[in-house]
Chains A and B, each alone.
Chain A
């Protein structure tokens, strides 16, 4: 068996893939945070809870309504997005004129509420979610065994991220959005319904979280607490990458996932904290973040 630095190459590649899977979640979630922050200027603490909501909706769909994975992969983000739109219209909307910190506090409260509700209904233990039949098993690539579902998560996430990037950077709709980020008043003067754009953006951002949740359902246990620990890591990812660039969020998310995976091989004790340590280093060397612009 071949080995690298005394670690079997198979184990190394396995952890690398696992890192990529985690990185995909970081990328999709931090992308959603960045899109929301760009237009709404709030940090959506509820992002982790909505990711959990997406996973739970998928689980509920299968458990009670017999709706399979593929339907829920579309339906769950839609539900989460609609839920987000309701939250935005009812609550977040009223805080735009205030300090941005209130947005963070409000979404923190929403997080506690959603998590508390699911905990009182389903307890803290995780619910298993079977991998869809078409994506079960794996392929032997000769140098490693590739579980199909994990590969699917990485590919699907990257595709969704790239589509989002394309829409925002290359289409008319995206141009509108970017203009709204720069100067909402001016865009409104051109006859664009900015409040509607804001609402839809929030809905889209959280739908991304819901999508990640469905992707995560078969690999992670579907539990009410699955989002809260993830979101803090994603915050660190956002601090490292800076929220200025869409591509930056994607690259940083994936990259940090890989680093985390490799840390699990070489220094397992530090795998929980490596992202935070990198955050500290980045703050010391480049306070605005890797892709951020100093304001």
Chain B
């Protein structure tokens, strides 16, 4: 326990020092936003066993809500972040309330369809500015810190990330989290033990949606924009992959997965050019334009041969050695 705590503390200090070490703050902030998003998603799939295929709706919805409240209604930064999170939670309540009426594969399809409905709403509603999205969202200031400076925003995002991560951690390590795991392992038994499974599922869904919303709200501050791409089904797929590649139902897995995927999106073009120089195959040149192919391939490999994910696999090996 204490060793785990020291590990987290060291990691937090490392993150705090990263800009001083020469890391590009925007990049690290992007990773942290996606990491929080993936942690929120993992709460649902990894610990409750519910596959939501619509989490992009919360990311995108919260980004729009925060952006609109800051740019048009003149909310304070904190107010905007909270408003975005609240909107995502509310969306989660509606979507979750409907989706938990079915289970398994239908649950995934319903969340996907609901998220697509939200996508069309964002596409057509006047306040989102359609394909252009919201641009030039004012970052404002928080506790006297001027957030238009990247470095100030960096520490705010880091704080949000740590808070969000702590909420996930606290949730899982609570009696509530134990019930969630029980539902994942054996739902009928949880019912027979007298738990109101539906309300537990719904609460987990709303919590996950709210945290995903927090990630989206923060992301809109980082990029001072909110765009339609955050709300697409591809984004919902992306967060699944982040969680899967890092390790379902592990704490650190989604963070690692988010880092890998963001890195991959940024670097795949360079990698393709290097590969084409090395092998002389022209086609690798276009690899950067076709990130989807790479993502698709990783998806297939993960599902076929690497279902524990990186962190899950390491944990499994370590435990195996002890036993």
What CA separation (Å) do A109 and B113 show in the bound complex? 18
A-B pairs with beta carbons under 8 A, tally: 120
B267 at the interface (CB under 8 A from A): no
Decide yes or no: A239 and B297 within 8 Å by CB, A105-B303, A109-B303, A120-B289 being known contacts: no
Decide yes or no: A111 and B296 within 8 Å by CB, A106-B304, A273-B117 being known contacts: yes
Which of A238, A277, A280: most chain B Cβ within 10 A?
Answer: A280
Q: How far is the CB of B274 from chain A (nearest CB, A)?
A: 18
Decide yes or no: A236 and B104 within 8 Å by CB, A109-B296, A113-B297 being known contacts: no
Chosen A-B contacts, 23 in total, with CB atoms closer than 8 Å, are A91-B304, A105-B303, A106-B303, A108-B237, A108-B240, A110-B300, A112-B296, A112-B299, A113-B300, A115-B292, A116-B290, A116-B295, A119-B292, A120-B293, A233-B113, A233-B116, A235-B113, A239-B106, A273-B117, A273-B121, A279-B110, A280-B98, A287-B102
Please tell me if the beta carbons of B121 and A102 are within 8 angstroms of each other in the complex.
no
Determine the residue in chain B with the shortest Cβ distance to A108: B237
Q: How many residues of A contact B (CB 8 A)?
A: 43
A175 at the interface (CB under 8 A from B): no
Decide yes or no: A276 and B105 within 8 Å by CB, A109-B296, A112-B296 being known contacts: no
User: Which residues of chain A are within 8 angstroms of B319 by Cβ–Cβ distance?
Assistant: none
Which of A91, A108, A233: most chain B Cβ within 10 A?
Answer: A108
Identify which of residues 104-141 in chain A touch chain B, using a CB-to-CB cut-off of 8 Å.
Answer: 104-106, 108-117, 119-120
User: Which residues of chain B are within 8 angstroms of A43 by Cβ–Cβ distance?
Assistant: 105, 108-109
User: Which residues of chain B are within 8 angstroms of A109 by Cβ–Cβ distance?
Assistant: 296-300, 302-303
Please tell me if the beta carbons of B105 and A232 are within 8 angstroms of each other in the complex.
no
Give the contacting residue for A232; candidates B102, B116, B294; CB below 8 A. B116
Decide yes or no: A238 and B109 within 8 Å by CB, A117-B293, A280-B98, A283-B101 being known contacts: yes
What CA separation (Å) do A288 and B110 show in the bound complex? 12
Identify which of residues 79-108 in chain A touch chain B, using a CB-to-CB cut-off of 8 Å.
Answer: 91, 94-95, 98, 100-102, 104-106, 108
Q: How many residues of B contact A (CB 8 A)?
A: 41
What CA separation (Å) do A244 and B124 show in the bound complex? 35
Smallest CB-CB A-B distances: 8 pairs: A109-B299, A112-B296, A113-B296, A116-B292, A116-B293, A276-B117, A120-B290, A236-B113
Give the contacting residue for B304; candidates A94, A104, A233; CB below 8 A. A94
Give the contacting residue for A112; candidates B51, B102, B113, B295; CB below 8 A. B295
Identify which of residues 84-110 in chain B touch chain A, using a CB-to-CB cut-off of 8 Å.
Answer: 98, 101-102, 104-106, 108-110
Return the CB mask of B43-60 against A: 1 if under 8 Å, else 0.
000000001000000000
Please tell me if the beta carbons of A239 and B300 are within 8 angstroms of each other in the complex.
no
Determine the residue in chain B with the shortest Cβ distance to A284: B98
User: Which residues of chain A are within 8 angstroms of B123 by Cβ–Cβ distance?
Assistant: 272
A263 at the interface (CB under 8 A from B): no
User: Which residues of chain A are within 8 angstroms of B244 by Cβ–Cβ distance?
Assistant: 105
Identify which of residues 261-295 in chain A touch chain B, using a CB-to-CB cut-off of 8 Å.
Answer: 269, 272-273, 276-277, 279-280, 283-284, 287-288
Identify which of residues 295-323 in chain B touch chain A, using a CB-to-CB cut-off of 8 Å.
Answer: 295-300, 302-304, 307
Give the contacting residue for A276; candidates B116, B240, B293, B300; CB below 8 A. B116
Please tell me if the beta carbons of A112 and B292 are within 8 angstroms of each other in the complex.
yes
Q: How far is the CB of B88 from chain A (nearest CB, A)?
A: 19
User: Which residues of chain A are within 8 angstroms of B202 by Cβ–Cβ distance?
Assistant: none
A157 at the interface (CB under 8 A from B): no
User: Which residues of chain A are within 8 angstroms of B290 by Cβ–Cβ distance?
Assistant: 116-117, 119-120
Q: How far is the CB of A178 from chain B (nearest CB, A)?
A: 20
B261 at the interface (CB under 8 A from A): no
User: Which residues of chain B are within 8 angstroms of A94 by Cβ–Cβ distance?
Assistant: 304
What 10 additional pairs, Cβ within 8 angstroms, besides A120-B293, A276-B113? A102-B303, A108-B237, A109-B299, A112-B293, A112-B295, A116-B296, A239-B110, A273-B117, A279-B113, A284-B98
User: Which residues of chain A are within 8 angstroms of B233 by Cβ–Cβ distance?
Assistant: 228, 232
User: Which residues of chain A are within 8 angstroms of B291 by Cβ–Cβ distance?
Assistant: 116
Please tell me if the beta carbons of A276 and B114 are within 8 angstroms of each other in the complex.
yes
Please tell me if the beta carbons of B101 and A235 are within 8 angstroms of each other in the complex.
no
Please tell me if the beta carbons of A235 and B109 are within 8 angstroms of each other in the complex.
yes
What CA separation (Å) do A276 and B114 show in the bound complex? 7
